[in-house]
């Protein structure tokens, strides 16, 4: 590992230990000889409050290249998440992790992890990594913002609120089942 890479990661670790967002954790792994491996970090990202991700801590590995911070780390959820911006392998698709897009050497581990937390609840539909998750997200997004007149048509078809709820829940369950034919 280059001196620049080692110094930067050691400084990042020091800063993280002093000040990191509540509920997050990030620490270098141990090498086979028991020493600290600064090139590979175990990370936990909490789900943001008031979102579908709330209550969970989502584990990932951050792997830093020898020429970090010139090149970005790779971030991979383990186990992989079903999400429009997470490849089936678990690798995160985020512009600040792509040197061809928005990566800058000044970006910190803290900024990367906060960006991933934000991405969980607010996917980037312009850069999907997992087609089934993208399709499901777009279906739910479309349903959440229905066309003009949808409400009145629904009320005419299902005059009681209870009947309308049954319809909406069964529609969502149908979409969920038909779009998630994959093995965990």
- pLDDT by residue (tens digit) across 106-122? 999 999 999 999 998 88
Active site residues: 93
pLDDT bracket for residue 147 (50, 70, 90)? low
CA of 164: how far to CAs of 69, 153, 159, 171, in Å?
53, 11, 7, 11
pLDDT of residue 182: 41
pLDDT of residue 29: 98
CA of 181: how far to CAs of 132, 135, 174, 175, in Å?
9, 12, 12, 11
Sketch the domain layout of the chain as residue ranges: 1-183
* CATH of region 1-183: 3.10.110.10
pLDDT of residue 7: 96
Helical ranges in 61-108 per DSSP H: none
The share of the chain scoring above pLDDT 70, in percent, equals: 72
**Does 70 have pLDDT greater than 80?**
yes
């Amino acid at each position: 590992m280059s001196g620049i890479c080692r110094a930067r990661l050691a400084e990042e670790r020091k800063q993280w230990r002093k000040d990191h967002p509540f509920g997050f954790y990030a620490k270098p792994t141990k090498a086979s000889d028991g020493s600290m491996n600064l090139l590979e970090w175990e990370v936990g990202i909490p789900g943001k409050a008031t979102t579908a991700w709330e209550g969970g801590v989502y584990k990932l590995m951050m792997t830093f290249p020898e020429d970090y911070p010139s090149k970005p780390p790779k971030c991979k959820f383990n186990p992989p998440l079903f999400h429009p911006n997470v490849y089936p392998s678990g690798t995160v698709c985020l512009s600040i992790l792509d040197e061809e897009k928005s990566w800058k050497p000044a970006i910190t581990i803290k900024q990367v992890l906060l960006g991933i937390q934000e991405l969980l609840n607010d996917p980037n539909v312009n850069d999907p990594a997992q087609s089934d998750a993208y399709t499901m997200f777009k279906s739910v997004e479309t349903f959440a913002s229905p066309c003009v007149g949808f409400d009145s048509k629904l009320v005419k078809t299902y005059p009681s609120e209870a009947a309308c709820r049954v319809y909406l829940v069964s529609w969502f369950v149908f979409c969920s089942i038909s779009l998630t034919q994959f093995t965990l």
